[in-house]
Structure 1
Amino acid sequence: MRKFQPFSRIIYILGIFLLVGCVKPKTENWQWSTLSVSGEPVARHEAGLVAHDSKIYLLGGRRINETSVFDPATNSWASKSKTPLELHHFQPVSYGNAIYMVGAMTGKWPNEKPLDKVIIYYPEEDRYEFGHTIPKDRRRGGAGAVVYNDKIYVVGGITNGHMDGSKAWLDAYDPKTGEWEVLEDAPNARDHFQAIGVKDKLYAFGGRNSSRRTGEDMSRTIEHGNIYDFKTKKWQAVTSDLAIPTQRAGSFTFAHNEFVITGGGEQAGMDLAQNEVEAFNTLTETWEKWPSFNRGRHGTGFAVVGDYVYTASGCGKPGGEPELKSVERLPLPKKAAFMSARGVIKKTVYTNFNTVTLSFKGPETSENAADNPFLNYRLLAEFKHKETNKVIRGFYAADGNAAETSAEAGATWNVRFTPDKVGDWSYTATLQKGENIALNNDASVGETISITNAKGTFIVVPTDKDEADFRGKGRLVADEGYFKFEGTDKYWMKVGTNSPENLLGYGDFDGTFRISAEASEGEATASDELHKYANHEKDWKLGDPTWQNGKGKSIIGAMNYLSSKGMNTVYFLTMNILGDGKDVWPYVNEKDFTRFDVSKLEQWQILFDHMQSKGLLLHVVVQETENETMLDGGDTGPMRKLYFNELIARFGHNLGLVWNLGEENGPASWSPVGQNDAQRKAMAKYLKENDPYNHPVLLHTHSEDPLRAEILKDIVGYEFVDGLSLQQAERTETAEVIEHWKKEAKEKNHEWLITMDEIGKWHTGAVMDEENPGHDSLRHYVLWGSLMSGAAGVEWYFGAKHPQNDLTSEDWRKRDQLWELSNHARVFFENYIPYWDMSPNHHLVNQEEGYCFSKTNEVYAVYLPNKGEAKIDLSAAEGNFSIQWYDPLKGGELQESGLKTVKGGSVQNLGTSPNNAEQDWVVLIKKVNN
């Protein structure tokens, strides 16, 4: 907890102050008074309290309540009209002749709904009115609201009652026109708080990330505040000075002179609501303690009338009772002003797993400068924490805003770093110059070039993101054959899209064009135009990123759609020169491999940032079989090293990322000149040794043996390859192939993570729903066959000779049912079984082409492809086992049928499926602990 700065200490620290009048009443006389009043309000909580025309209005709260009006001149209460509906969790603001309520909820705990309209109360008429409609994708409750320059700014809030959905949103609402403007997100998401404006800035302190879904209703309080500058339209960097001394939610806030004052609230584990009141000096950015309430309370507000601040009603304990009726007031100190200090050192605060982007001003140069900035400069930054340190490579960033400006020149150099430890960090950055220095890892080599901001410190606090976002969970690594979040016991199962492979051949990215649309036999044929993904523009939501006045909406919307279907991975090439699509590369042009297109790559990162926030793994495929010898003849020489360095520097900070050594790596009949074993090993080794984050490195295979086996036999067990991105021609053989290579790797003491990423045959793959409703063979042999044979995930390849194929696909909705079927499998594996601790034992089930995935004597998952009699061999088990059924077509909860339990020690009949339905089923058999 931060220490308070007493008044004398502030003066001492600053050394300079200007005092006008009395600062505050003497401490011994300065306290809250509980008033004796005439009448009483309707007791309530999660309500709004606001001053309007020298009276105080208590509005809303749980249930439909009358409006209670307090007159400070007579210390009396009066009753007015009821709200038109149950209205709670909002911060009312007085504007013009009315009181506005924006960012509110209605309904019962914990599944309250955000209001779809602004609610307006006209005190003179004692009348409520439904105002403008709030955009569907920006509705939330528990948000802060501030009036500035005739607009109401709404910040934070939560979209899904108390269950989840805390937001960092900021919007500007024009009460005259109804116009709704989406602004930059705050550094922190928060709900159950109030915001306030002082001069030209908005202040948000307190609140929490409510998460009833995880049982964390009140515990995830937010330590640091956020400050938004209305003039610059930017959020101030979060520093340690913005840490609120007493964390709280359900708190309330007002402004007085240069102070932002926050009081009340609730926290998990407390018997009573909080009574502490604390003031933040906006000039000195220091905190001081103000008198505490006589009665702690939350879920109400402050109201300033005359020389006093008032609070009333609210709840006296965490939760919903008792609801209070008392009124307290505090005399306000006279005006005080302080000159802000110079040279005060502040530590910037970041949340864990969020990207730290450091910008440095260095030499002015350009993408095409004679002295190549990508080859002849090297920016390295060392980040230190008491438990670890990492050296991160930086990159040339042109003007620092190239995604928006398309700049080719400038003096900005950036480093992106994702911390994985909470606490104090320091960094030291060095820019060095020398011929081809970018290819040299020796930090002692080169001429040091002066840059700004070369050293610094910052603090990392726990993440405030939810688990749908990679920033809520951490970095994915390969662990004993599966994906796992580093440093945790949480595993992750991959399902998603493998097509189009040229995802980044998108018309809204700078410098993107197609060299040729010609295709050879065995390839998909690209269209004449770049990708547009036009049918997904409707999936873009207010607040989602764009660039250059609205570009990118359709590809961002497409990622929203995939995430909404439960998908969590997207496969794409970063270079397909000489390949199938011939429309994706990171370079300024396709002939010079030493110059990178800064604005294009920054726009890629906007997409990647959004994908990470949606929990979508970046499956980065660095080359195709047709171009695997294009750089350095296949060696890991200067051009390949430069390429890998740039990918790592710009994108390696992403938490969910896999490096794929290349599509169909190795020689083939259609591409006879390919990399050899030594070359692919050198690639893998270079990526592993130069990626500071240890992202998984996989090898994409050919589709059939003996070609595939000939390539894999020498690389299986190689320490720098984490596994296979498997291609398989015959879908009926999928399980067998996965089991074979898992076994081969285990015997070499280096277990492979194998993902089933491209199912054949090449011309068909996974066709659209309308061509193959139900996707029966894919569901059976590939989806369930793979996962029940130890695969770490499945991606769907769209084939080469059908509509919406691997190069021409524009609309992922064409395979909507396929995504649903895939999500059902993912949910089963993630929610019902410890799959990372299980192994395939298909021989235990009697149905031909059935699958069994088990941990002996503990849990058995059985996939039954048909309705026929089903038996399982439990000879190696003992005790009783429960039987439940899972529907792979519809998903949902586990179901029961006639037979509820079986015994170990022999072959057991599993009974009939629920409703005796004629379809495939999954049976979950678990040990019953008596």
Structure 2
Amino acid sequence: MKHGFGLQYILLAVISVVLLQSCKDNWKWETVTAKGAPTARHEAGLVAYKDKILLIGGRRVNPTDVFDTKTNTWTAKSTTPIELHHFQPVVVGDAVYLIGAMTGKWPNEKPLDKVIIYYPEEDRYEYSHQIPEDRRRGGAGAVYHNNKVYLVGGITNGHIDGYKPWFDAYDPETGDWLVLPDAPDARDHFQAVVANNKLYAFAGRRTSKKTDQDMALTSSYGNVYNFESNTWEAVTENLKLPTERAGNSAFAWNNEIIIGGGESVAHEMAHNEVEAYNSQTRTWRHWPSLNQGRHGSGFAIVGDYVYTASGSGNRGGGPELTTIERLKLPTDVDDKSDDIVDPTPVYKQWHTVTLPFEGPETSEMNLDNPFLNYRLDVVFKHAEKQYTIRGFYAADGNASETGADKGNIWKVKFTPDLKGDWSYSAILYHKDSIALKGDLKQAEPVAITNKEGRFSVIASDKDGVDFRANGRLEVSNGYYKFQNSDKYWLKGGANSPENILGYVDFDGTYRMQAQSREGEASVTGEIHAFEAHLKDWKAGDPTWKNGKGKSLIGAYNYLSDKGMNSSYFLTMNILGDGKDVWPFVNPEDFTRFDVSKLDQWEIVFQHMQSKGILLHMVLQETENETMLDNGDTGVLRQLYFRELMARFGHHLALNWNLGEENGPADWSPIGQNDRQRKDMAKFIKEADPYKHPVLLHTHSHDPLRSDILDSIVGYKYIDGLSLQQEKREHTAEVIERWREKSKEKGHDWLITMDEIGMWHTAVLPDNEDPNHDTIRHYALWGTLLSGGAGVEWYFGAKHPHNDLTSEDWRQRDRLWTLTHHAMTFVQNNLPYWDMQPEHNLINSKGAYCLRKTDEIYAVYLPKIGINTIDLTHAEGVFSIQWFDPLEVGELQTGSIETIKGGTVSELGNPPTKKMSSNKQDWVCLVKKNSKQAKK
């Protein structure tokens, strides 16, 4: 048993005893003997209306059954207009609103596009307001409060996937829809309640049939929204449910939130447990268990009783019930307690923990420099690991919104990689240049609040491309891999515009001068606005300062929706291309940082990570690599690096790039030397607590490139190359050469093809190069089948939408499609991290082959002809399938289905009906057929 968990189990046992003791022997549910019976159903809505109980919807189209609590009689009323299920009905005046429902068959149900209203007095349904397309979901919690219907959680794609933490307010009068801050946890299949001006969301799950986890991901903790402060409260240990379940019912009574029924993987029978959370004492207790466990129904209060009816008696779809039972509501609840313990916060693995500290009042331009003369160190401890994380000066703590340049708040951001119990202790030091000094003995500790604490970490609730679903990227075997897993990751994305942070909605951002040198993309006096991507911003996405940032957030939405997962950008281009990006208060003082601007950068970076986009941070350009400390890693460079690490190092997918075209060049002859380059890499690697990959962006051709790389290949503090290649037809050879050199030195480099030449042309817009033929051949497939770990696309300098002026990634929409298509083939079909390029196995000029000997071969053929593969080194029978690099589709069978090892064999032709021309390229997958080999 690991440290800390024994006590947790003991406490749970004690809590269970206390809960059980609270039940009175004479306090029980009673099954009501009713006249008539409702239509058996589950996933329905149950709600009290005056002195009656309405049973609405459920699987199939059902009548609306009404139970009269005075006569104990069921009466069938009108059927619903369509099949309606997975909703929590709410009463608004003389109507019942059905919002956030689904329709259709399991597991591909669809959320409704409109609100449906039922009028009990008239026994009539009607369609009402449109639900915004990007906020539609079912299985959500719904409550009526302050003249609004609040909808929290839910799932967008039936039972397949798409569970959400969304929170919205809907005005039944006007139909207005307001997107509110996301809940801390995503969940579906649950019910929400309101008590004491707070919304409570307990139980539920994250339904994911896509991963065969239909019911497995039950929610452990509740979420609480405070309507007075308009914020979600911190998730704390006392919000942990005694019994995890979904499909539950919920209601509020006095100061208690009661959770009953439900289903889970714990047992086949539906849950009958009823448990109550006291919002005043923050403790749980048992209520009497239901006579019949059930899920997919609800609770309804009429008079002195709470009722429940219908539902399913087992997890899943049956048996569907027709019984109704009720419980006398208690009147002796003790709501008072003087012993409320400060609860332990609960965070999630791979989610960022942000801790604020109040310290001395200061400002960005204070004579006593807060960036240089203060140092916040926070030690995070787990039973298995310890981190020391640098904090940073945060002005008023909300500078992204206020634009503040002064205040007394410091912060630290930490991303926990282990579940379980953590503690932290913080010290704010003060002394001249203490931010750079290792010896803290002479420094003066400064009083701060919140300097010690504890929290616990539970499993992440994210899925899909969100990095919080997978963890931190590292380098292994020359490829990206998620830490502590066997899951590898390929990169594909945008290298341009490199000055994307020169964006109009960031504070303190402007172009210093609109001029460019020969060999550099031309610019104007305008910085980026990305207006073409305003339409890609979605309700619920982040903004700052009353709606700023939408177009940049939208741009990254578009890139992610196209399947791209990386973005290359400069964090400083003073003296370089664009001259519009820097983290400083002004581009002349390198010791003062713009807090509000960097907070706004962080909003964008957080969103990028949630959309699965790696932060490829390029720290400098060749024109400014000696601007700080004359190229040394001295005071200014150290301060610059440490500030970026403190503010952004917590992100899970991040590269530190030592600099674009690093080293002397014809157009910039004064560059960093070998020692300075190594010192810089060593400092970053040792100062970064997370050990993110450190890469070097190369020059475009030899010998200029090789003169620099020969001196650093094998250097342990550099993890690989961000490759620039002038002539695209040599891409594969260059990647192979430097991979092989690094292996020989015992330090296998990760190499990504990040800037393809020629510099003036590079990757053209779709209207100039519709299928990007040479890019697709040499740069894309040449990289992926030659040991490269991914690609980023550079837009060149002499065409519209270039490297510095591009405002619309849709100008290269086809490029992203082709790139994602190739990445998907490699990721889904090849153990590429365990394969080697061996192009000479194929007889065709310009062909590529990535192989795992005697197991699998991926062959790129630039055109169809008499293509052969040399399998003389292999044994057994191999199947042949074809992949079309131009069209999204499945693997296909060609003219030859199998070949034998031990020979040089023809590969045949791809499917005839797909062959528009023998000049079209194809990819051939040759894979050992173990069953046929045995024969």
In 1, the alpha carbon distance for the partners of 2:338 and 2:534 equals 49
**Equivalent in the alignment of 1:86:** 83
In 2, the alpha carbon distance for the partners of 1:342 and 1:505 equals 53
Instruction: Report if the CA contact (8 A) 1:274-1:297 is conserved.
Output: yes
Q: Give 1:29's match in structure 2, choosing from 26, 33, 38.
A: 26
Instruction: Report if the CA contact (8 A) 2:281-2:340 is conserved.
Output: no
Q: Give 2:163's match in structure 1, choosing from 161, 166, 169.
A: 166
1:636 and 2:669 are equivalent in the alignment: no
In 2, the alpha carbon distance for the partners of 1:692 and 1:389 equals 10
**Equivalent in the alignment of 1:387:** 384
In 2, the alpha carbon distance for the partners of 1:144 and 1:335 equals 29
Cα separation, partners in 2 of 1:345 and 1:661, compared to 1, 3 Å: same
Residue 336 of structure 1 and its aligned partner are, at CA, apart by: 2.8
String of CA shifts for 1:38-80, please: whole Å, max 9, x gaps.
Answer: 1111111111111111111111111111111111111111101
Residue 112 of structure 1 and its aligned partner are, at CA, apart by: 1.1
1:860 and 2:857 are equivalent in the alignment: yes
Q: Give 2:138's match in structure 1, choosing from 138, 141, 146.
A: 141
Q: Give 2:909's match in structure 1, choosing from 912, 917, 920.
A: 912
In 1, the alpha carbon distance for the partners of 2:250 and 2:42 equals 16
Aligned runs of 1:277-426 on 2, under 5 Å?
Answer: 277-334=274-331, 336-341=333-338, 344-426=341-423
Q: Determine helix, strand or coil for the equivalent of 1:708.
A: helix
Aligned runs of 1:444-593 on 2, under 5 Å?
Answer: 444-593=441-590
Q: Counterpart amino acid of 2:24?
A: T
- Could you tell which deviates more after superposition, 382-391 or 433-442? 433-442
1:928 and 2:935 are equivalent in the alignment: no
Q: Counterpart amino acid of 1:672?
A: P
Instruction: Report if the CA contact (8 A) 2:88-2:141 is conserved.
Output: yes
1:41 and 2:38 are equivalent in the alignment: yes
In 1, the alpha carbon distance for the partners of 2:316 and 2:486 equals 32
Q: Counterpart amino acid of 2:899?
A: V
Q: Determine helix, strand or coil for the equivalent of 1:608.
A: helix
- Could you tell which deviates more after superposition, 266-275 or 780-789? 266-275
Q: Give 2:733's match in structure 1, choosing from 736, 745, 748.
A: 736
1:765 and 2:774 are equivalent in the alignment: no
Aligned runs of 1:703-852 on 2, under 5 Å?
Answer: 703-852=700-849
Residue 418 of structure 1 and its aligned partner are, at CA, apart by: 0.2
Residue 7 of structure 1 and its aligned partner are, at CA, apart by: 11
**Equivalent in the alignment of 1:3:** 12
Instruction: Report if the CA contact (8 A) 1:495-1:793 is conserved.
Output: yes
In 2, the alpha carbon distance for the partners of 1:729 and 1:653 equals 34
Q: Counterpart amino acid of 2:904?
A: V
- Please, which runs of 5 or more residues in structure 1 have no aligned partner? 12-22
Residue 337 of structure 1 and its aligned partner are, at CA, apart by: 4.2
Q: Counterpart amino acid of 1:593?
A: F
Q: Determine helix, strand or coil for the equivalent of 2:534.
A: helix
Cα separation, partners in 2 of 1:799 and 1:7, compared to 1, 3 Å: closer
Residue 898 of structure 1 and its aligned partner are, at CA, apart by: 3.1
Q: Determine helix, strand or coil for the equivalent of 1:527.
A: coil
1:51 and 2:25 are equivalent in the alignment: no
Q: Counterpart amino acid of 1:80?
A: K
Residue 445 of structure 1 and its aligned partner are, at CA, apart by: 3.9
- Please, which runs of 5 or more residues in structure 2 have no aligned partner? 1-8
Instruction: Report if the CA contact (8 A) 1:241-1:346 is conserved.
Output: yes
Instruction: Report if the CA contact (8 A) 1:717-1:750 is conserved.
Output: yes
Residue 916 of structure 1 and its aligned partner are, at CA, apart by: 5.2
Aligned runs of 1:878-889 on 2, under 5 Å?
Answer: 878-889=875-886
Instruction: Report if the CA contact (8 A) 2:282-2:340 is conserved.
Output: no
Residue 880 of structure 1 and its aligned partner are, at CA, apart by: 1.1
**Equivalent in the alignment of 1:690:** 687
1:183 and 2:184 are equivalent in the alignment: no
Q: Counterpart amino acid of 2:821?
A: H
Instruction: Report if the CA contact (8 A) 1:4-1:287 is conserved.
Output: no
Instruction: Report if the CA contact (8 A) 1:5-1:288 is conserved.
Output: no
In 2, the alpha carbon distance for the partners of 1:475 and 1:120 equals 47
String of CA shifts for 1:269-288, please: whole Å, max 9, x gaps.
Answer: 52211111110000011111
String of CA shifts for 1:642-676, please: whole Å, max 9, x gaps.
Answer: 00000000000000100000000000000000001
Residue 338 of structure 1 and its aligned partner are, at CA, apart by: 2.1
In 2, the alpha carbon distance for the partners of 1:175 and 1:444 equals 63
1:225 and 2:222 are equivalent in the alignment: yes
**Equivalent in the alignment of 2:3:** none
Q: TM-score, normalised by structure 1?
A: 0.97
1:261 and 2:270 are equivalent in the alignment: no
String of CA shifts for 1:600-637, please: whole Å, max 9, x gaps.
Answer: 00000000000000000000000000000000000000
Q: Counterpart amino acid of 1:929?
A: S
1:681 and 2:691 are equivalent in the alignment: no
Cα separation, partners in 2 of 1:793 and 1:94, compared to 1, 3 Å: same
Instruction: Report if the CA contact (8 A) 1:263-1:277 is conserved.
Output: yes
**Equivalent in the alignment of 2:270:** 273
**Equivalent in the alignment of 1:101:** 98
Residue 242 of structure 1 and its aligned partner are, at CA, apart by: 0.3
Percent of aligned positions that are identical: 63
Q: CA RMSD in A?
A: 1.4
**Equivalent in the alignment of 1:131:** 128
Cα separation, partners in 2 of 1:347 and 1:269, compared to 1, 3 Å: closer
In 2, the alpha carbon distance for the partners of 1:711 and 1:772 equals 34
In 1, the alpha carbon distance for the partners of 2:821 and 2:431 equals 55
Instruction: Report if the CA contact (8 A) 1:788-1:851 is conserved.
Output: yes
Q: Determine helix, strand or coil for the equivalent of 1:379.
A: strand
String of CA shifts for 1:315-364, please: whole Å, max 9, x gaps.
Answer: 11111111111111111101534234356131100011000000000000
Residue 444 of structure 1 and its aligned partner are, at CA, apart by: 3.3
**Equivalent in the alignment of 1:653:** 650
Residue 4 of structure 1 and its aligned partner are, at CA, apart by: 7.1
In 2, the alpha carbon distance for the partners of 1:442 and 1:887 equals 60
In 2, the alpha carbon distance for the partners of 1:907 and 1:319 equals 55
Aligned length: 918
In 2, the alpha carbon distance for the partners of 1:672 and 1:328 equals 85
Q: Counterpart amino acid of 1:358?
A: L
Cα separation, partners in 2 of 1:894 and 1:445, compared to 1, 3 Å: farther
Q: Counterpart amino acid of 1:173?
A: Y
Q: Determine helix, strand or coil for the equivalent of 1:237.
A: coil
Q: TM-score, normalised by structure 2?
A: 0.97
In 1, the alpha carbon distance for the partners of 2:112 and 2:440 equals 57
In 1, the alpha carbon distance for the partners of 2:463 and 2:441 equals 42
Instruction: Report if the CA contact (8 A) 1:5-1:287 is conserved.
Output: no
In 1, the alpha carbon distance for the partners of 2:475 and 2:455 equals 29
Residue 896 of structure 1 and its aligned partner are, at CA, apart by: 1.6
In 2, the alpha carbon distance for the partners of 1:273 and 1:527 equals 66
In 2, the alpha carbon distance for the partners of 1:924 and 1:666 equals 41
Instruction: Report if the CA contact (8 A) 2:622-2:662 is conserved.
Output: yes
In 2, the alpha carbon distance for the partners of 1:441 and 1:141 equals 55
**Equivalent in the alignment of 1:437:** 434
In 1, the alpha carbon distance for the partners of 2:775 and 2:186 equals 40
Instruction: Report if the CA contact (8 A) 2:478-2:750 is conserved.
Output: yes
Aligned runs of 1:190-229 on 2, under 5 Å?
Answer: 190-229=187-226
Q: Counterpart amino acid of 2:403?
A: S
Q: Counterpart amino acid of 2:896?
A: L
In 1, the alpha carbon distance for the partners of 2:148 and 2:438 equals 53
Instruction: Report if the CA contact (8 A) 1:58-1:68 is conserved.
Output: yes
